[in-house]
Amino acid sequence: MQELQRIALEAAAAEGAQRIHSLRLRLGRLCGVDPDALRFAFEVVMADEVAAGARLELELVPTLCRCGPCGAPFEPEDVILACPRCGSLAAEVLAGRELELIALEVS
């Protein structure tokens, strides 16, 4: 969270902004971050004058895989990435690991 704060403050300073109004993050299901814990940490870490009261907007990205053996695309039911078509566990993760700052609203 402190890295997000650093990036946001640097970006705001580079734009000559006096205030950060919102941050938008893309958060994949497999990235290992709990959205509720992230929201709580955001409020604590972003209490800085420039970012006080800023909103955190989360874009949750579902997990998308492709089976290695049969090539079928699928969205796994849980953390076990088993292909529903052939049952193989040899899947390539195409989406769901994202943890990206995608927008910053400043003034």
11-50 per-position pLDDT tens digit: 889 999 999 999 999 999 999 999 999 999 998 888 877 8
Q: What is the pLDDT of residues 54-104, one digit of tens each?
A: 999 999 999 999 999 999 999 998 888 999 999 999 899 999 999 999 999
Cα atoms found within 13 Å of the Cα of residue 102, Cβ hemisphere only: 13
| Pair 98, 30: CB distance under 8 Å | no
Residue 24, pLDDT score: 96
Model pLDDT, residue 45: 87
Q: Which CATH architecture has domain 2-106?
A: 2-Layer Sandwich (3.30)
Give the single-character DSSP code of 48.
S
- Of 19, 23, 16, 24, the residue nearest 51 (C-alpha): 19
Is 90 strand, coil or helix?
coil
CA-to-CA distance for 107 and 101, rounded, in angstroms? Answer: 18
At residue 49, the pLDDT reads 78
